[in-house]
Amino acid sequence: MRTIECVCISLGICIASHSHAQELGRLLYTPEQRQQLERGKATTSSSPMLNGIVQKHGSGRTIWLDNQAELHASDVQPDSQPFAQSGHPAVRIKVGERVP
């Protein structure tokens, strides 16, 4: 009898935790950022995408723009990269975003 109770309780906990995990969704992006990421997956764009940033303490940083590594000077904001296009003001983009 005790074994059956333990199995039932364990099964109940697993089902409850699974239903709560599905409710959480994505926690790290705003709704606007999620829409932009989904649009980026669905369509091809001619604007470059920032794929990654690695910055060492006290030295330059490497960014991956359209999966191509580029060396840049270190920056005070390690989570984003400034980009300037001719005729437009510089904008900061984060990993996974495309240059507007």
- 89-98: pLDDT as tens digits: 888 989 988 8
According to DSSP, the residues that pair with 65 across neighbouring strands are 50, 68
Q: What is the pLDDT of residues 73-86, one digit of tens each?
A: 877 788 888 888 78
Q: Mean pLDDT, to the nearest integer, of 28-54?
A: 76
Q: Please, where are the H alpha helices in the chain?
A: 2-24, 31-42
Go through 11-28 and write b for each residue having 16 or more CB atoms within 10 A of its CB, e for each that does not: eeeeeeeeeeeeeeeeee
